[in-house]
Amino acid sequence: MEHAWLGSHVEPDVVVEVRAGRISAVRTSVPTPPPGAVVLRGLTLPGLANAHSHAFHRALRGTVQVGSGTFWTWRETMYGVAERLTPDTYFRLARAVYAEMALAGITAVGEFHYLHHAPGGARYNDPNAMGEALIAAAREAGIRLTLLDTAYVAAGFGESPNRHQLRFSDGDTEAWAARATDLADRASGPGGAVRAPGGSPLVPGGSVRGPDEAADVLVGAAVHSVRAVPAAQLATVAEWARERAVPLHVHLSEQTAENEACLAAHGRTPTRLLADHGVLGPDTTGVHNTHLTDEDIALLGGSGTGTCMCPTTERDLADGIGPAPRLQSAGSPLSLGSDSHAVIDLFEEARAMELDERLRTRTRGHWTAAALLRAASHSGHTALGRPDAGTLERGALADLTTIALDSVRTAGTIPRLGAETAVFAATAADVRHVVVGGRPLVRDGRHTQVPDVPRALAEAIGALRDSS
């Protein structure tokens, strides 16, 4: 590697040795690459982790930027896209979206998956057809997937699902748990043999994965929100995740209207409600955590519950700026996600978290560049159930991202300030190479498994428009 960020500083002339998909050694001050080495020109970082994704929202890009409105009017447009998806079209869209993520340096994604059934709530012959489509898509695109199977059984406090939400709902969390268990068992079974719609088990190259490769997919759990899961059913989801030692995520206090409705229904904030029903803890991540009280921040930090900030979506939807510095100071680890995919660029998410805070406080330097890169890498992987990823050190998963230091955005910068260059100057367009498990996934800016990602995106999104 020409230059590598080793967590605290940048070193030139670094050799990373890989064995069985993991880093077996890191050697510095090696000016001449060993025979047979693959040279990565630029700055190499740990692979990035996108801790919060709704893959189908990618089809909204551009169309929801017309006119004005709120989160709630945006949601109606989102429902329209959700109505048109089938297992086949979702596979094709997600494959293209995950390939776009790979081109942006993302080696693992947390998919917050609640689009379970057919429109109107009818079950597919395979009740997990939509989840299997996502798993097959991630495997074809070559990135690691934590599928956060999401419980979504109500429209609001005491309200049944509306016609759009029927395809999200299993009826109650006991039925959700039974379906999620089946998906988790199949995804982690011998070969991890999950089938793409209408086909045989899909993996890069078309061959069935061996048991050692099944770990590229982890099935976790999610509570969509306190408005979508009745309080009496929250513990079912939390216990399912804890019994399996898998991540648990939840949309939390993204909107003030949700807070007000929760206070009216339960006399407490969403954070307090989650705490009272055993949802918070070090394996749990709250997504957004935007509109919080002092007590909420203390509950989240004191329990070690993580915070996934999604600044490009939060600003796109006019949600507000969450209290990320206070949450981190209280003990809540920070990760980053692209959520609705207004853009897919973890460098922009990291940059936005700092710059939003500068606008709010009119002071600079709330996080170092190194801290922001850790949020985009190791902390994100940990939130997705892979604490052994996101660092360049012996024993870690050999997932790497290399950015150019000679683009129009990065040229002329000082290599030893590579972390600052990555966060405050680079974009996803500067990613040149991506390695997952020691195998090249992106080489010289081209995806090795999805030959034409823009075309794949255009065709998948166009098919949805044609079906409207």
8 A C-beta contact, residue 334 and residue 306: yes
The residue from 54, 116, 249, 288 that is catalytic is 288
- DSSP, residue by residue, 322-370: --HHHHHHHT--EEE--BTTSS--HHHHHHHHHHHHHHHHS---SS-HH
8 A C-beta contact, residue 237 and residue 176: yes
Q: Which positions ≥6 away from 282 have C-beta within 8 Å?
A: 303, 304, 305, 306
Q: Which positions ≥6 away from 142 have C-beta within 8 Å?
A: 98, 99, 102, 204, 436, 441, 447, 448, 449
8 A C-beta contact, residue 197 and residue 88: yes
Nearest to 216 by CA among 442, 47, 338, 86: 47
Would you give the end-to-end CA distance of the chain in angstroms?
Answer: 48
Element (H, E) at 238: helix 234-244
Residue 45 exposed, middle or buried by CB count within 10 Å (0-12, 13-18, 19+): buried
8 A C-beta contact, residue 391 and residue 379: no
Reading the block at residue 288, the tokens are 């957004």
Q: Across-strand partners of 219?
A: 147
Q: Which positions ≥6 away from 270 have C-beta within 8 Å?
A: 225, 226, 252, 253, 258, 259, 262
Q: What are phi and psi of 51, to 5 degrees?
A: -80, -5
d(CA 174, CA 104): 38
Query: To which residue do tokens 């999401």 refer?
Result: 150
Angle at Cα 177 formed by Cα 74 and Cα 136, nearest 5°?
A: 65
The residue from 339, 345, 356, 430 that is catalytic is 339
Where residue 235 falls (left for φ over 0; alpha for ψ -120 to 50; beta otherwise) is: alpha
Active site residue 288: yes
Which positions are catalytic?
A: 288, 339
